[in-house]
Amino acid sequence: MIPRYLTNFNLQQIEQIKTDFLVIGSGIAGLYSGLKLANRGKVRLLTKGKLKDCNTEYAQGGIAAAIATNDNPKLHYLDTLRAGAGLTNSEAVSTLTDESQERIEELIEIGVEFDQANGELALTKEGAHSCCRVLHAGGDATGAEIRKVLGQQVQKNKRIKVDSEIFAIDLLTENNRCYGILAYDQKQEKYLAYLAQAVILATGGAGQLYAKTSNPAIATGDGIAMAYRAGVEVMDLEFIQFHPTTLELAERENFLISEAVRGEGAILRNQAGKAFMTDYHHLAELAPRDIVARAIYQEIKNSSDDHLYLDVTELDPNYIKERFPTIYRTCLEAGVDISKDYIPIAPAAHYLMGGVKVNLNGESSLAGLFVCGEAAAMGLHGANRLASNSLLEALVYGKKVADRAATFLDEPKMDFNWLQFNYDQQVRGDIPAEKIKNQIQSLMMEQAGIVRNELGLKKALAQLSKMTDYLKMTLLQIEEVEVQNLIIVAYLAVKAALIRTESRGAHYRSDFPEKNSKWNKHICLKKENRQEEFRVEVN
């Protein structure tokens, strides 16, 4: 049983902060939508850590856009559809690719410094792209550069107030309308209520579901879980993309080795030193991510070790250091000189294609609630995201969300005085958060990872169902609440994976290894009062 709220509270007894627009999240989607909304009204932007604590900061490869003379939005559109394995929303993709150049030009205008070659923007090629169309900055620090510039714009905008170390706990809703959120101020150690005309969730993904992930510790699926508790539809949660190449070393967290490294000529090798990708796909190292990840999974399974290798030793050492400075430096600190040594790699959870179900304007099934970035699901990425489309999505649909949310100021000013939220159904307690998180991560790796089957998924669902008992407690530590969110998202992802009896994109069932046209549909899950319902939606 998943409760409506995770904590007991009385709205009249906690501080209320009112604004026009409330943006939750400081990644590229939150920053960009916040800037656009500031043109229309006052914005409050919340982040549960510091402003730079987000997945965007870790995005290495780049941002895809059809700007080359031998490229066009139609080619980009077709590549995205092919990667999505028959489940992409074609209208969403068309909007993404058609508006890509305009969004890139805007980034350059506000100061983002993309890398150049011979006086022109440098473009590279990544998996499943038909040509070079991926822009990058700082070699392999694209996300950090974009976030830095957008963050500077946000901080100097007088109509945006940034509140850091604010943990969003639950949406405040009544009569199918979102009025704001219940939050916890980690610095003042007290609950707050943020109330707004429109709420924008830009809370990112849920990589922390897995023991091996390229995501930072904050990626705990908070926005998706809180939306589900509020009765909002979620969609496509079975589609979890594993990045094929992350640094795999004992006693170290997995570190992303960008797909751009393979785009520049790196070769995947097994334990015997054999290049094996041509055995799996004609595009070899540049096949779609789901195919490369499964190939590596199979090769590791066939070996006696827990990793394979990525070989960049044929590239010029100076070029490696210039093109991939972050990767070079991080590997060197770990004892691997990538100009001389093979890089030990293994797949790790990287991106969630599913999330809160929204339309092309980012509107959820709850009035006043918008979602953009990785937390949103409109079918844009289908069953498998095309490399470097995520940063572009955050820009294109961050603007769509802002444009639509801004119209809420055209309505009569909302009166919050009548709100009487009062929830008192939870028991006070504490849980061994780290232990339970480790259990979830191990369970998901073993039973709901790159390869799944009915037996393993049922085992995972049974264990996660027992863990829902932890949702009945009002908890005092943020880490504990994050675990509650992970329990919910894991439960929903496994349930969706059980329902989809086929293999498609990032969802691979060994007991149903083929794609089935009857599953050209989206699985939507929704909490209805005290029970859960699911439905399939024709693509």
Residue numbers annotated as active site: 289
Sheet with strand 63-64: strands edge to edge: 63-64, 134-135, 123-124
C-alpha distances out from residue 387 to 102, 205, 271, 283, 466, Å = 20, 16, 26, 14, 36
CB-based contacts of 468-472 (< 8 A; 24+ apart in sequence): 468/1, 468/2, 470/431, 470/436, 471/1, 471/2, 471/3, 471/6, 472/1, 472/3, 472/426, 472/427
CB contact at 8 A, 399 and 32? yes
- Three-state DSSP class for residue 535: strand
Nearest C-alpha neighbor of 49 from the set 235, 234, 175, 204: 204
Which residue is listed with tokens 């991560």?
Answer: 441
Question: Positive or negative CA dihedral for 479, 482, 486, 488?
Answer: positive
Distance between first and last Cα of the chain: 30
Question: How far is the C-alpha of 375 from the C-alpha of 379, rounded, in Å?
Answer: 12
Distance CA 321, CA 52 (A): 25
* The three-state (H, E, C) secondary structure of 3-64, written as one string: CCCCCCEEHHHCEEEEEEEEEECCCHHHHHHHHHHCCCCCEEEEECCCCCCCHHHHCCCCEE
DSSP string, 174-243: ETTEEEEEEEEETTTTEEEEEEEEEEEE-----GGGSSSBSS-TT-S-HHHHHHHHTT--EE-TT-EEEE
Q: Please give the distance of CA 438 from its chain centroid, rounded to a whole number.
A: 20
The residues pairing with 192 across neighbouring beta strands, listed in sequence order, are 15, 183
User: Rounded to the nearest 5 degrees, what angle is found at the Cα of 282, between the Cα atoms of 280 and 287?
Assistant: 75
Let me know how long the chain is: 539
Q: How far apart are CA 210 and CA 280, in angstroms?
A: 26
**What single letter denotes the amino acid at residue 433?**
A
Answer for the pair 419, 18: CB distance below 8 angstroms, yes or no.
Answer: no
Do 194 and 180 touch, CB atoms closer than 8 A? yes
Phi, psi of 423, deg, nearest 5 = -125, 125
- H-run or E-run covering 526: strand 521-528
DSSP code of residue 517: G
290: number of Cβ within 10 Å: 26
